[in-house]
Amino acid sequence: MNKVAVLPDDAPHILLVDDDNRIRTLLSRYLGEHGYRVTTAEHAASARQRIEAFTFDLMIVDVMMPGENGFDLTRWIRTGSSVPILMLTARGDPDDRIRGLEIGADDYLPKPFEPRELLLRLNNILKRTVAPTPTEPVRDIVTFGDFTFHVSRGELQQGGETVRITERERDMLRLLVEIPRETVDRLALAGPAADIANERTVDVQVNRLRRKIEKDPGNPVYLQTVRGTGYRLMVDM
């Protein structure tokens, strides 16, 4: 009989939301063997109860669920949390991927998939949430207009008030302020989904961030497009 792994108290806590009991069982066992603490929910209503009772480091949400689907649940989560979300779906339609990113998902994995690929994506997402070490040559506080971005805390403020951003948007800001006023390649901004990224995907993520920091997202002052290459953030020097 295999021994059940004893996880440390600080093991990352994941909420897995999927109506397929077989998938919940297999992924719970697999992720538990690789150092994750997993709580499961079979539908959106159950997930809401878990979210109100526990704090999670990351959520895996299936798109195709009976009743309230994964898109609806993700949209609800984003009204009060920036926790990283990875969406699962049986569909390979790129429009579904775009829709998930538009409402705040951080990554997207179509079914069927290899558990090892899911594990790698989870690891990459969580690595991005770790604050930079003090030795990194990045200013900890960067300003542009009336916005202030605290790099180590990953916190964006406007006039002293916190602006809610997702983990994907937080990661994009960190990449942009590493080389202020310089161009960051489009694929670098694509993050963990770079293997499936296209111009439309990255543009969706950038436009979502622009809506939070630009008075006129159609004529951006701070987050500017460098045609054919990528984007740059015009911070105060």
d(CA 33, CA 230): 39
Mean pLDDT of the chain: 85
Dihedral of CA atoms 122, 127, 128, 134 in degrees, nearest 10, equals: 170
What is the CATH number that goes with domain 141-233? 1.10.10.10
| Domain 13-128 coded CATH 3.40.50.2300 | yes
Beta bridge partners of 225: 231
Compute the distance between CA of residue 171 and CA of residue 208 in angstroms, rounded to an integer.
13
Q: What is the rounded CA–CA span in Å between residue 214 and residue 179?
A: 20
Dist CA 39 CA 27 (whole Å):
11
pTM exceeds 0.75, yes or no: no
Residue pLDDT, tens place only, 123-170: 888 877 655 444 445 578 999 999 999 998 899 999 889 999 988 899
Which residue ranges make up each domain of the chain?
13-128, 141-233
Average pLDDT, integer, range 24-36: 93
